[in-house]
Amino acid sequence: DLKERKSMPLDLVPEFVKNIRRLMDDVEAMPQPTIAVVGGFAFGGGTELMLACDLRVAAGTARFGLTETSLAIIPGAGGTQRLPRLVGKGKGKELIFTGRRVGADEALDIGLVNKICEPADLIDECLKMAGMICEAGPVAIEQAKYAINYGLETDLNTGMAIESNAYWVCIPTRDRLEGLAAFKEKRKPVYKGE
């Protein structure tokens, strides 16, 4: 809330911003996949929260932007780091430097959102996506998220080693055996996260 921030004593601002950043980091660090559901405007912190999520689904009427530079500040909750990693360095710089707002179609084109849909279908589309994720093995999903998040922060060889370690975490699970049995028996697997 920019009105609240304007009246906030200067000595309280650093702790306030740190708490917001911690929240975004906590969202990103969750072992379960997270899906941001955006039905309207997501500017500043709204876009930063969306960036901390694994997947983003938006209504066709949604708008996004890291508009902080137009207020003589910069995104302070991870936006300068997460946006360029998601949409590329050049596009990330463009959007942050200009504070330009983008609509849902452009957000989809640049990879800022994974899917757009009609506003009335937003929740159903997100639940459908979540349902598809829930059909997979929970340990495998957690390990895939871990490998992607940490592997992308390193060089390719280190990333491959992270992936290999995550793969081997899945091997001794009961879920892996259930997946193989279900495949052989031509039925849906019943995973328990074990």
Rounded Cα distance between 163 and 185, Å, is 29
> Which of the two residues, 73 and 106, has the higher pLDDT score?
106
Contact between 61 and 119 (Cβ < 8 Å): yes
End-to-end distance of the chain based on CA atoms, in angstroms? 43
* Residues 173, 192 contacting (CB under 8 angstroms): no
Q: How confident is the model at residue 33 (pLDDT cuts 50, 70, 90)?
A: very high
Sheet containing 102-103: order of strands: 41-43, 63-65, 102-103
* Amino acid 18: pLDDT: 86
pTM, two decimals, is 0.86
Question: Cα 162 to the chain's mean position, in Å?
Answer: 20
pLDDT the model gives residue 130? 96
- For the stretch 123-166, pLDDT in tens is 999 999 999 999 999 999 999 999 999 999 899 999 999 999 99
d(CA 45, CA 39): 15
Q: What does the alpha-carbon distance between residue 131 and residue 116 come to, in Å, rounded to a whole number? A: 17
* Beta-carbon-side half-sphere exposure of residue 126 (alpha carbons within 13 Å): 19
Q: What residue spans of 53-155 are helical by DSSP H?
A: 79-87, 89-98, 104-109, 122-134, 138-151
2, pLDDT greater than 70: no
Judged by DSSP in three states, 76 sits in coil
pLDDT digits (tens, 9 = 90+) for 72-105: 888 989 999 999 999 999 999 999 999 999 999 9
What whole-number distance in Å separates Cα of residue 178 and Cα of residue 185?
A: 10
Asked if 137 contacts 179 with a C-beta cutoff of 8 angstroms, the reply is: yes
CA 137/CA 115 separation, integer angstroms: 23
